[in-house]
Amino acid sequence: MRGEDRESGALFSYVSCEARVPGDHPLRAIRAIVDEALEVLSPEFERLYSKIGRPSIPPEKLLRALLVQAFYSVRSERQLMEQLDYNLLFRWFVGLSMDAPVWDATVFSKNRDRLIEGAIAAKFLAAVLSQTRVKTLLSDEHFSVDGTLIDAWASMKSFRPKDCPDDEGSDDTSPPTGRNAERDFRGEKRSNETHASTTDPDAKLYRKGNGQSSRLCFMGHLLMENRNALIVDAELTRAGGMAERQAALDMLDRRPSGAGARRRRITLAGDKAFDVRSFIEDLRERAVTPHIAIDGNVRVNARPRRTAIDKRTTRHPGYAVSQRVRKRIEEGFGWIKTTGNLAKTRHRGLERVGWAFTLTATACNLVRIPKLLAQT
DNA sequence: AGACCTTTATTACTTTCCCG
DNA sequence: CGGGAAAGTAATAAAGGTCT
């Protein structure tokens, strides 16, 4: 059951909490947007939570706490609760009165499944973007996509042959010596085909480029609009060569279409990894102009690679603009990884990591939106 | 009113990972 | 190795509802 109105008795102390947050504090504008979005999500929460039973911790508060965690790079959910206990600013943002006890950190784990089930992260992102003021910031015809690697919460030592996870691979000579034993991978062939991480089976071994080391990771993808470089969609997949293109198409296909209006032609910018004939065809099929960077790598036969993008596309000034703007998507990845603490996830499993990725992307937007609104 | 059921938070404990 | 930290899990307590 959703414990909604348990703070009513503590109005005074909430006010004194409120009074200590400066009127021009950046979090105030952010909270206004967050609260409006949470209001929209309210029926969803109603559906997710039981009517009876012990009152739940309001999911609105859980969500606001998780946003604060991203804003202030709080390392873990336990640390978050410790901060929330003593930090008035955090208390105010989350909506806890001064003397209200903080909840146990494990409630995040408990509620995670429920919030994932309701796809709350994606709906929250959508709810923020659909606000009338926010909409004016968004371009509805020019977009960019890109993907990045998110390190999994799994070590290489957990990467074991699928058929016998307890076996130390082909390394028969040295028996396991206690936990966290040394493992020598030299000469041992490892691939996603035959091996999987025992810690997080969804994590895949992937190498970004030649000469770089393979990591156990996921792949995070963003769809960005080009006017203010705000994130309009996020998706997390298993790492793989095709994942980036597939995720791009998925995000395009689920783009909200304007009520009644027929779908207009849009442009999509992307780096040279997207310069693949079949992908370009997929875009054209969807009435999407491919503003994709040209992959002109010189191959072994000393000939430049054949690109799927020609002058018909590149001659337009819009192509150059897209190429310039698309790089701003890195700002989003940068924030999500450094401030949002997602360079290496602490969650395990595709669903959990994906949920965190989308929520952190939303947090990234929330930091920027008030500043952008103030400029106009 | 009180036995009993459902749901969720909390507690206590386990597993896993990381790093010096 | 060993200790610290965090997530996960199972058992239990708490809160509210329903049925008789």
- Determine the nucleotide nearest to A59 by Cα–C1' distance: B8
Query: Is A249 strand, coil or helix?
Result: helix
Bases of chain C within 7 A of a CB of the protein:
1-3, 5-10, 13-18
Strand B nearby residues, CB < 7 A: A 1, 49-50, 52-57, 101, 103-104, 106-107, 110-111, 153-155, 157-158, 179-180, 197-200
Higher-pLDDT residue of A163, A35: A35
Angstrom distance, A47 CA to C18 C1': 21
Residue of least CA–C1' distance to B5? A53
The predicted structure's pLDDT at residue A262: 59
* Interior angle at CA A352, CA A347 and CA A358, nearest 5: 110
How far is residue A67's CA from residue A363's CA, in Å, rounded to a whole number?
A: 6
Report phi then psi at A147, rounded to 5.
Answer: -130, 160
Amino acid at A173: T
| A274 close to A304: Cβ distance less than 8 angstroms | no
A375, two tokens: 């400029």
A189, two tokens: 């062939």
Higher-pLDDT residue of A242, A157: A242
| A316 close to A282: Cβ distance less than 8 angstroms | no
Cα dist from A338 to A213, A251, A345, A347, whole Å: 21, 24, 11, 16
Residues A81-95: pLDDT tens digits? 777 777 888 888 888
A351, two tokens: 């669903």
How far is residue A176's CA from residue A167's CA, in Å, rounded to a whole number?
A: 9
The gap from C-alpha A269 to its chain's centroid, in whole angstroms, comes to 19
Compute the mean pLDDT over every residue in chain A, rounded to the nearest whole number: 78
Q: Among positive and negative, which fits the CA dihedral A104, A109, A113, A116?
A: positive
Average pLDDT of the segment spanning A271-276: 92
Number of H helices, E strands in chain A: 14, 8
| A97 close to A17: Cβ distance less than 8 angstroms | yes
pLDDT > 90: percent of chain A: 32
How far is residue A345's CA from residue A348's CA, in Å, rounded to a whole number?
A: 8
Query: So where are chain A's domains?
Result: 17-118, 139-153+216-375
Q: How many CA atoms lie within 13 A of A128 on its CB side?
A: 28
Higher-pLDDT residue of A33, A70: A33
Angstrom distance, A53 CA to B5 C1': 10
How far is residue A108's CA from residue A92's CA, in Å, rounded to a whole number?
A: 19
Confidence of residue A177 (pLDDT cuts 50, 70, 90): very low
What count of other Cβ atoms lies within 10 Å of the Cβ of residue A302?
Answer: 6
The predicted structure's pLDDT at residue A247: 94
Bases of chain B within 7 A of a CB of the protein:
6-12, 16-20
How far is residue A283's CA from residue A322's CA, in Å, rounded to a whole number?
A: 16
Closest by CA position to A112, among listed A65, A54, A43, A51: A65
What count of other Cβ atoms lies within 10 Å of the Cβ of residue A184?
Answer: 11
A246, two tokens: 């597939």
Residue of least CA–C1' distance to B10? A104
How far is residue A137's CA from residue A205's CA, in Å, rounded to a whole number?
A: 38
pTM: 0.84
Residues A179-192: pLDDT tens digits? 333 344 444 455 66
- Determine the nucleotide nearest to A62 by Cα–C1' distance: B9
Domain A139-153+216-375 has CATH 3.20.20.140: no
The predicted structure's pLDDT at residue A166: 39
Cα dist from A328 to A109, A129, A323, A335, whole Å: 33, 19, 10, 11
- Determine the nucleotide nearest to A53 by Cα–C1' distance: B7
Average pLDDT of the segment spanning A117-127: 85
- For A95: left if phi > 0, alpha if psi spans -120 to 50, otherwise beta; the answer is left
Residue A97's H or E segment, with its range, is none
